[in-house]
């Protein structure tokens, strides 16, 4: 019997209309959907996809418990458990679609699970999604970089983000808890700073100066700091 394929799909950052034609087709054509959450109702990626593809509610859902733990052992175990649940279906010849926020290649749990599943001999495939930082730039109507500018992306867990020197545009992702420190650091750098909170969602908010940005903010916050002289 042929084995199934694990298909990681990016559903984009929030607006269901930012899903790709391919993501929609892949969800329609397959039956089993793995979601990174305890239940469909509590999973953001699922609720985004459901708005664009109502047929999703008739699919078989595999809820995967994937805590955002700092403990590496606990993380590894949750990934192994998720891979095992997925492989049980792949072994029976069924494809499994894994829904993920944003893009599956950018700070996504899917990458870890893809690696485990791939090492166990299964085929995997990835469908790109719109990243939160591209959507944040679009919402604010600004560019992330022009032809001679570099773009540097830092996740909240990247400890040295505050010490980074050089380059042009800096993007700080999921930076809610560190907002105050990042603001202080940027104040010295003469950067043009934009912050987008809950991009593409109903409670989206755009801040266009350091002074306006609150010292604390939610998980879905993206800071874009651009060179003043280059910005357009």
Nearest to 5 by CA among 94, 85, 68, 79: 94
DSSP 12: B
Return residues touching its own copies (CB under 8 A). 10, 12, 15-22, 24-25, 52, 103-108, 111-112, 114-115, 118, 124-131, 134-135, 137-139, 141-155, 157-161, 164, 166-167, 232
Report the nearest approach of its own copies to the CB of residue 69 (Å): 11
Report the nearest approach of its own copies to the CB of residue 196 (Å): 12
Nearer to its own copies, 16 or 214 (CB): 16
Nearer to its own copies, 36 or 104 (CB): 104
Angular region, 200: left φ>0, alpha ψ -120 to 50, beta rest: left
Report the nearest approach of its own copies to the CB of residue 104 (Å): 7
d(CA 183, CA 172): 11
Let me know the angle formed at the C-alpha of 106 by 100 and 109, rounded to the nearest 5 degrees.
Answer: 50
Nearer to its own copies, 40 or 222 (CB): 222
- Tokens representing 187 are 């104040």
Report the nearest approach of its own copies to the CB of residue 18 (Å): 5
């Amino acid at each position: 019997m042929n084995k199934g394929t694990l298909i990681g799909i990016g559903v984009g950052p929030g607006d269901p209309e930012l899903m790709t034609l391919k993501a929609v087709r892949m969800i329609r054509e397959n039956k089993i959907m793995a979601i990174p959450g305890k239940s469909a109702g509590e999973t953001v990626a699922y609720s985004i996809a459901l708005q664009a593809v109502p047929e999703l509610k008739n699919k078989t859902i595999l809820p995967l418990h994937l805590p955002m733990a700092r403990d590496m052992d606990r993380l590894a175990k949750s990934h192994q458990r998720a891979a095992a649940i997925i492989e049980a279906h792949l072994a029976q010849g069924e494809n499994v679609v894994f829904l993920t926020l944003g893009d599956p290649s950018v700070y996504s749990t899917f990458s870890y699970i893809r690696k485990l599943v791939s090492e166990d001999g299964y085929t995997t495939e990835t469908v790109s999604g719109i990243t939160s930082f591209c959507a944040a730039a679009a919402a604010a109507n600004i560019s992330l970089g022009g032809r001679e500018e570099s773009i540097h992306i830092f996740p909240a867990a990247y400890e040295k983000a505050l010490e980074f020197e050089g380059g042009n545009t800096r993007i700080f992702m999921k930076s809610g808890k560190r907002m105050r420190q990042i603001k202080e650091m940027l104040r010295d750098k003469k950067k043009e700073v934009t912050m987008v909170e809950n991009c593409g969602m109903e409670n989206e908010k755009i801040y266009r100066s350091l002074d306006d940005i609150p010292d604390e903010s939610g998980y879905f916050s993206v800071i874009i700091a651009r060179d003043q002289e280059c910005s357009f």
